[in-house]
Chain A
Amino acid sequence: MQKIQKKVFQILVDNTPGVLSRISGLFSRRGYNIESISAGVTADPRFTRITIVASGDDVILEQIEKQVSKLVDVRDIHELLPDDSVYRELAMVKVRAEAEKRQSILATANIFRCNIVDVSPDSLIIEITGSQSKVDAFLKLLEGYEILELARTGIAGLGRGTEKVIYL
C-alpha cells in the first residue's frame, strides 16, 4: 500500500443541471475520498468552478484525475500544487460568549483577523478566512470555550499567475 496523501483539484465544468451530482456520484461509486468540495459559478455563467480536496495513494489520485476528466461535462481538471496556488477556506463559528468570556474570545479572534458577524447576549458568530491550517489552529484555540455551531465551506483555490488560465 502506497502512502495516502491529499491533493487539491480544480475542475472547470459546463454549468449543466446535475453536474455536481455527476462529479460527486463518480467519487462515491468508485470509492474515492472527498475531504472537501466547493463549487460556484464562474465569471462566465456557462461554467462552474469546483475545488475538490481528495485523498488517496498515487494510483487513486491519478485515476481520480483521469476518471473526472472523462465526464462529458468536464472541461478541465488539474491539480493545484501548494507552491503555485493560493487556497482559502471560510468558516463561521458560533461560540457561547457570556459577558465575562467575551473579551478573551474577541482578543483571540483579533489575532486571527476574524470578523465578528453577529453578537447576541450569550453568543458570537465569528467569521474566519484563511488556509485550512489557519482555520484549524483558530478552532483549536476555541476548544476552551463552547462551540455551539460550526460551518466550513471547504477550500476554494486558484493557481498563481496567468500560466494555466483557461480563456473561455
Chain B
Amino acid sequence: MIGAEAIVKCLEKENTEVIFGYSGVAIDPFWNSILDTNIKRILIRTEQNAAHCASGYARISGKVGVCAVTSGPGATNLITGIATAYADSIPLVAITGQVNSDMIGSDVFQEADITGAVESFVKYSYLVRNVEDIPRIFKEAFYIAGSGRRGPVLIDIPYDVQMAELPGDFVYPETISMRSYKPTVKGNMVQIKKVIKEVEHAKRPIICVGGGVHLSQATKEIREFAELNHVPVVSTMMGIGVMPSEHPLYFGMVGNNGQPYANRAMNESDLLLMVGARVADRAVNRPDLITENKVMVHIDVDPAEIGKNVGPTIPLVGDIKHIFRDFLEQDDHPDDHSDWLRTLEEYRDKMESDRVPDYALEAYAEPRDFIRRLSNAMKDDAVYVADVGQNQIWSCAYHIVKNGRFLTSGGMGTMGYSIPAGIGAKLADPSRQVVAVIGDGAFQMSMMELATMRQYKVPVKIVVLKNGFLGMVREHQHYAYNDNYSMVELKGDPDLSMIAAAYGMEYRKVDGNSDIDGELEEFLANDTSGLMEVRINPMELTKY
C-alpha cells in the first residue's frame, strides 16, 4: 500500500462520506487512490469554495468536513476558506499536495510553504515527512478538528510521501495519545452549582447564545433549560436558530446589526449567561454594559475566550451540552419571571418599527418584506444560508427560523460563502431544502459553482437580491462619505436569466409588481436547482 492509499483508508476509518476538492499533479496520487471507494468526490470550480463546501457540510452533518487540493496556487487559494472556517470554529481537515520532499524550500514549480502561510488560521497543521506517520497524523487531525473548540487542521503531504510504500500493514490507531492537547469537556461542579444558585436568585436573567451552541449540538438542552426556568434568550449572529424565531422566550439578535430591544434586554438583565459566544465587537459594542450591575457568567469550551473581551463574574469552561445537562440536573427551583418577560415584550412591541418604504414599490421588491415571505414559503426544517452584506443583515432580522438552520460567515464575513456552503449543506442532508440568499456582488464571486451544482445534481435554491451595488459598503459610503461612491457600483452585471439558462437552472424574477408569494411557492415547489432574481432598491439601507 502506498501513502495515498493509506490516506484514503484513514478517511474511510473516519467515515468520511464526501470530499470537496480540485486536482493538480501534487495531489493526483490521492485522487487516483480514492477512485475505487464509496467516498463521494465533488470537483468544485475554485479551491476557496472547497473549504466553504466542507464548512457547510460540517455545520449540517455535525461531522468534520474534508477538502483536498493541490500544491502551490491550489493551496494558497484555499486559505480564505480555511480562515473563514477558523473564524467561525468550523471543524475541517484540509489536505494539500506538496512538491517532492527533497525539493521543499527550493522554490520549484507550484511550491508554496502552505503550513507556514496558514499558521494563523488553523488549529494545527502537519507537514508529513514519513509515510508511516500518515495514520497517526490523520487520527490526530480529525480529533483536533472535531473536539474542544472546533477548527480547521491542515495536512500537507509531499508527492513522494503519497507515492512511498507503507512499511508493514495499515493500522489505524484506536486511541489518541497526545500529551499536550486535552480539551476540557465536563464543567467544574463548584462553578456549575454557583451558576444555578445565581439563576435561582435572579430577577432578570437572560441567556445570550452564540455559534458554540450549534457546534456543541446543545440546542435541545438550551431550549429545555430556558423553558424550565422561564429565562429569555437572545442570540449573536452565529447563534441564530438555537431558538425558533417565534418562540415566546426569544428576543432576537444582539449587536449593532441586531434588534435594539435585544441589546436593551441584555443590558438591563441582572444575570447574563453568555454561552458559546466570543463577545466580539459586532455582537457587543460596549463590553462594559454587559458586566455593569449584573452577574455575568461566561460559558465556553475555549478558556482563552473567557476574559479576552470581557471579564466575567463566573467563568465556566467546558462543553455546552455537558454543562447544560448538569444544569438541568441541579436545577429545581423554577421561577416564572413573568414581570421581566412582560417588560421585554413591551420593549419589543415599542421598538419594533414597521417601516414604510419611501419609494414607489412597483419597481422594487421590499427586501425585509421579501425575506419574511421567503421564510414563510420555506419548509420548517430548511437550511437558510445568508451571504455577506445587506442581504445578511436583513436575513438575520427577518428570516423566521422554525426548525431549520441558519448559516452564514459571521466572523470573517467572507463574500461568496453562501452558494458553496449551501452545496455542502445539501450534500450533508439531501432531504432538506437549502436556500442561499446572496447579493449580486457575492453572486459574481461564486457563480462558477453553478456548474458544480449541475454536474453533481445538487439542487440548491439561489435567491439573488440584485441592486447593482455592493450595498453594504455603499451604505457605509452614504453615511461616512456623504454619498461619494467609490468602487461600489456594479455596472456590467450579467443578465441573470441568461446565466440561469446557461447552467440549465429554472429562473424567476420578482419586483414590486410581482405576486411574490405565488412566485415563491412555485420556485420552492420542486427539488431542483433554481435562481430567483429579486430587484431591490439600490438606495435601500439596513439602518436609519
Contacts and interface: CB of A to CB of B under 8 A. Distances in A.
B127 A29 contact: no
Contact of B304 (A14, A22, A29, A63): A63
Nearest to A30: B120
A20 to B, nearest CB: 12
A114 interface: no
A82 B295 CA distance: 35
A75 B120 contact: no
Contact of B180 (A14, A21, A62, A66): A14
A70 interface: yes
A75 B304 contact: no
Task: Give the bracket for the number of chain A residues in contact with chain B.
Answer: 10 to 19
Nearest to A13: B180
A149 to B, nearest CB: 30
B120 A25 contact: yes
Interface in A57-98: 59, 62-63, 66-67, 69-70, 72-75
A72 B144 contact: yes
A66 to B, nearest CB: 4
Contacts of A161: none
Given A13-B180, A72-B144, A74-B180, A62 B307 contact: yes
A18 interface: yes
B14 interface: no
Interface in A20-78: 21-22, 25, 29, 59, 62-63, 66-67, 69-70, 72-75
B264 to A, nearest CB: 27
B309 to A, nearest CB: 10
A73 B180 contact: yes
A136 to B, nearest CB: 34
A63 B308 contact: yes
A70 B86 CA distance: 14
A75 B119 contact: no
A22 B307 contact: no
A144 interface: no
A75 B179 contact: yes
A101 to B, nearest CB: 47
Nearest to B124: A72
Contacts of A18: 115-116, 127
B520 to A, nearest CB: 45
A67 B304 contact: yes
A66 B119 contact: no
Contacts of B489: none
Nearest to B180: A75
Given A21-B119, A62-B307, A63-B307, A14 B179 contact: yes
Contacts of A74: 180
A17 interface: yes
B302 interface: yes
A5 B537 CA distance: 55
Contacts of B307: 59, 62-63, 66
A6 B29 CA distance: 51
B303 interface: yes
Nearest to B153: A72
The CB with the most chain B CB atoms within 10 A, among A14, A21, A66, is that of A66
A99 to B, nearest CB: 49
B304 A70 contact: yes
Contacts of A14: 179-180
A25 B115 CA distance: 13
Contacts of A75: 179-180
Given A63-B304, A67-B304, A72 B178 contact: yes
Contact of A25 (B119, B127, B144, B302): B119
Contacts of A62: 307
A25 B181 CA distance: 19
B180 A72 contact: yes
A59 B306 CA distance: 11
A22 B179 contact: no
Nearest to B144: A72
Given A17-B127, A59-B307, A66-B303, A72 B181 contact: yes
B298 interface: no
B178 to A, nearest CB: 7
Contacts of B302: 70
Contacts of A17: 127, 129
A4 B178 CA distance: 36
B363 to A, nearest CB: 48
Contacts of B59: none
A22 B178 CA distance: 17
22 contacts: A14-B180, A17-B127, A17-B129, A18-B116, A21-B116, A21-B119, A22-B119, A25-B119, A25-B120, A29-B120, A59-B307, A62-B307, A63-B304, A66-B303, A66-B308, A69-B303, A69-B304, A70-B304, A72-B123, A72-B144, A75-B179, A75-B180
Given A13-B180, A21-B116, 15 more contacts: A17-B129, A18-B115, A22-B119, A25-B120, A29-B120, A59-B311, A63-B304, A63-B308, A67-B304, A69-B303, A69-B304, A70-B302, A70-B304, A75-B179, A75-B180
Interface of A: 13-14, 17-18, 21-22, 25, 29, 59, 62-63, 66-67, 69-70, 72-75
Q: Closest 5 A-B residue pairs measured CB to CB?
A: A66-B304, A75-B180, A72-B124, A72-B181, A29-B120
